[in-house]
Chain A
């Protein structure tokens, strides 16, 4: 029972990160109908920037801020330089271009930093508190929950309460009409990419220390988990992304806790297959997504 409780909290903490990452995927999907397969690689790049800044200055938080800013800028750059020129007549094109970006980012990171694993520090300790004799959460987990919670709340407020959010939703939902009404659709798209990349960077910052460590391929498996989370929730739905993230996190935690860590990626694959075959649109249908 202790173990179950521990695994549950561990799963929720992992799931929160997947949720953030899945949110980033959903943001771009809603705005541009592209699944950004380069999301993971971009996030790793941001974490490397944080690593460098932290090395130079000795401050974790400066690095943290640098990662978010870098993510924002990288998102803008990718959208403005590459993604807006992708031909959308076939969904294949966007995917292939994103894969090209993956290769570029991983290659550049490898050239600059080398391919070896680097340990990354965490701002808080990762040993769990005891509550009634059961190891539940660590300070770091609390930090993860707080950070992801802030992102979710921030995005919700942005999209539902602000004029910019309204324009972004309009630009994504009906680009032509929005343009006629004076919404700068291209600008909204760039903003969407910037936000998504920043959220992805945050997720990368949160998850890389807890996984094996920092290397150019650090996010490959993680991207798959996040993609699964986004698909489980339905690529259209932010609420679905968060729920999907938590589901995937819990699944991974239970599977690696009870069956062994090596089985975990297979469990994700299985979940992805089951969801895609059962409900290709995801558990949260798109009609719900329009409300969000």
Chain B
């Protein structure tokens, strides 16, 4: 015990030096973001608005995933499947009752349930075992869709009935608004959540389970909760994607989507919401860039595949060039006030 006490003073000066950089409350970021997005949607042409909406939808899921993987150290390759869960729930509820808020809520609730089930298993697994299990979850989506093809419509999927946007708002602007409302709300809630005790618990469990347990942190509960929270984000994101595409099918949630999500948060910087935002931006921009290159070259095979290669190379290079592991990066953007 004395050892620990002696070490303490050595650490504190470092903390005090970074303390003066007082950051504003997350709600200001959310408000600033909302204003920026609203302004952008009037300025941008419809297709750009659609892309903006897609970034918002991706941000919704990457934000949740970075909390799970970056802060809690649990790697999930199954978030594509969780998004599919949200998307299908949204589609089914929407086609039945045609009430958007209800459908979004149902999507989140359904994925919370699915996330709790997977999280229960995930809390007992480490490293490659966890990755393998979640990989199996990601791969199972098409077969679930075909097994229950009466309700889920097999490979063809379902089309979704949507009310037209209120008033004279163009569809793309409406999509951007809704997607970013979801994204900013998610990011705000996550930021508030990880500022407090929960965030501390998450990091404690990630860094040293034994120490965390000694300090009275309930390991399994923390891990399951982290999984459920990130699953809820994935469910909302899935519903947003379904809303964007106005349809849902297994082809929209392939294994590569799950890999892309992991890639996005790793490249953006694990454990930081700003990193998740960067990752979401890349997820939309890189394929678009690769697409235009592919069209320029006139090769059909490049389409889509070029983006895969770029993503893969970037992922490997980033992982190798940061030997300390990006997981060691602190959640600096939202440091708790003392």
Contact = CB atoms under 8 A, between A and B. Distances in A.
Contacts of B132: 35, 224, 227-228, 231, 272
Most buried by B among A103, A114, A235: A103
Contact of A86 (B147, B308, B320): B320
Interface in A78-110: 82, 85-87, 89-97, 99-110
B315 A89 contact: no
B147 A262 contact: yes
Contacts of B309: 103-104, 107-108, 111
Interface stretch (A138-146, A178-186, A196-204, A273-281): A273-281
Contact of A102 (B142, B259, B302): B259
Contact of B311 (A103, A111, A114): A103
B133 A101 contact: no
A164 B99 CA distance: 68
Interface string B104-138: 00000000000000000100111111011101110
Contacts of A114: 300-301
A85 B139 contact: no
Given A35-B128, A262-B147, A110 B305 contact: yes
B147 A87 contact: no
Given A102-B259, A107-B307, A265-B140, A82 B316 contact: yes
B133 A276 contact: yes
B147 A106 contact: no
A115 B263 CA distance: 22
Most buried by A among B144, B299, B312, B315: B312
A196 to B, nearest CB: 15
B133 A104 contact: no
A158 interface: no
Interface in B70-84: 73, 75, 77
A143 to B, nearest CB: 28
Interface string A233-255: 00100000000000000000000
A269 interface: yes
Q: Interface residues of A: mostly helix, strand, loop or mixed?
A: helix
Nearest to A260: B147
A221 interface: yes
Interface residues of B, number: 54
A263 interface: yes
Interface in B293-338: 299-302, 304-316, 319-320, 323-325, 327
Interface in B132-169: 132-133, 135-137, 139-140, 142-144, 146-147
Contacts of B73: 90, 92
Contacts of A93: 319, 325
A272 B78 CA distance: 14
A228 B320 CA distance: 28
Interface string B278-301: 000000000000000000000111
Interface size range on A against B = 35 or more
Contacts of A286: none
B140 A266 contact: yes
A55 to B, nearest CB: 17
A113 B305 CA distance: 11
B147 A92 contact: no
Nearest to B146: A262
A1 to B, nearest CB: 27
A86 B163 CA distance: 50
A210 interface: no
A37 B325 contact: no
Contacts of A217: 254-256
B89 interface: no
Contact of A103 (B133, B259, B324): B259
Contacts of B139: 220-221, 224, 265
Contacts of A291: none
24 contacts: A82-B316, A87-B323, A92-B69, A92-B327, A95-B127, A96-B319, A97-B320, A99-B263, A99-B315, A100-B311, A101-B316, A107-B311, A110-B304, A111-B309, A217-B254, A220-B139, A221-B139, A224-B132, A224-B136, A227-B132, A235-B128, A273-B133, A276-B133, A277-B121
**Closest 7 pairs between A and B when the two form their complex, measured CB to CB:** A91-B127, A107-B308, A103-B312, A100-B315, A110-B305, A104-B312, A107-B309
